[in-house]
Amino acid sequence: MTEPWPDHLFLVGCGNMAGQMLTRWLACGLAPARVTVLRPSGRPVAEGVQVVTSYPAALPRGATVLLGMKPYQLGEVAQALAPLCGGETTLISILAGTPLAELRRQFPNAGQIVRAMPNLPVGLGQGVTALHAESDSSPADRAAIAALIAPLGLAEWIADEALFNEVTALSGCGPAFLFRFVDALARAGEAIGLPADQAARMALATVQGSANMVAQASDSPAILADRVASPGGMTREGLNVLDADDRLCKLLTDTLRAARDRGEEMARGG
C-alpha cells in the first residue's frame, strides 16, 4: 500500500486544530523530517519537526502547504507565501469562512487548492473533516487528499461550497456543543442531588458509552432512544420533556444556525 504522506508538509501556524492534525499524522507514521512549521514564536512542536520563524527562500518541490493560522492573517501570509507556491504545490486551508475563490485569488499560481474543516477529535483519529475542492480537481488529486485525511477519521467531500458553513456549524463547531451538553448533563445530575464529582464522571461515561453504541448499531439514534424508553417508565418521562414541541431539535437548529450565520459574516469580512 502506498503511504499517504506528501514529500514535504509545510504548516503555516500550528495552533489548536493544526496541532491536532499534525499530532495524529506523526503518530500514524509521518516522518518528522518531512515537516516544517512556520511559527513566529519559534516554540517547538514535536521532536524532529523543524520550526522556523520566517518564510524559506523556496518550498520543496511537490510540497503540501497547510494554512492553519487565523483567517484575518490570510492577506499577510499570502503576500510572502504565494510567490513560493507553484503548480506542484498543494494547498490545504482550514481557515474558517474563507472560500476557495478567495484562496485562489491570493494564491493564483498554486496547484490544487482544497478547503478543509476538521474538528478537534482528529487528534484521536476520530474526527470529521469536511473537504471541498475546485471543480477542475482531478480524481487522483482528490484521492491523494483523501488518503492524507483518512488517519484523522471520517472525511466527507462537500459538493456545494455554499453548504460549507452549514457543515462547519455541525461538525466543526459540534464538539464544543457536545462538551457543553456533557457539562449540562452533569450539572443536572448535581441539581437533582448527586455529588458533583460523581455526576461529572457518570455523565461523561454515559455519553462516551452511548456514542460508541450508536456508532456500532445498525439502527438510527431515534430508534435506539425509543427502545430504551419503556412505555410509562422513567426514560419515557424524560424523553417527553425533551420531545415536547420538538424543543431539543429546535434548540440545536437555532445553535447551528447562529454558528452558520457567523461563518457567513466572516466570509463577508465581518
* β-sheet bridge partners, residue 52: 38
15: amino acid identity, one letter:
G
Instruction: Report the sign of the C-alpha dihedral through residues 166, 240, 237, 225, in that order.
Output: negative
Task: Judge contact between 6 and 30, C-beta under 8 A.
Answer: no
Output the pLDDT for position 268.
78
pLDDT tens-digit series, residues 138-163: 999 999 999 999 999 999 999 999 99
Is the confidence at residue 1, as pLDDT, over 60? no
pLDDT at 265: 86
Per the document, the length of the chain is: 270
> Which domains occur in the chain, in start order?
9-160 (3.40.50.720), 174-267 (1.10.3730.10)
Beta strand 113-118 pairing with 127-133: antiparallel
Indicate the pLDDT class of residue 60, thresholds 50, 70 and 90: confident
127, 172 in Cβ contact below 8 A? no
Interatomic CA distance for residues 175 and 103, integer angstroms: 26
pTM of the model: 0.88
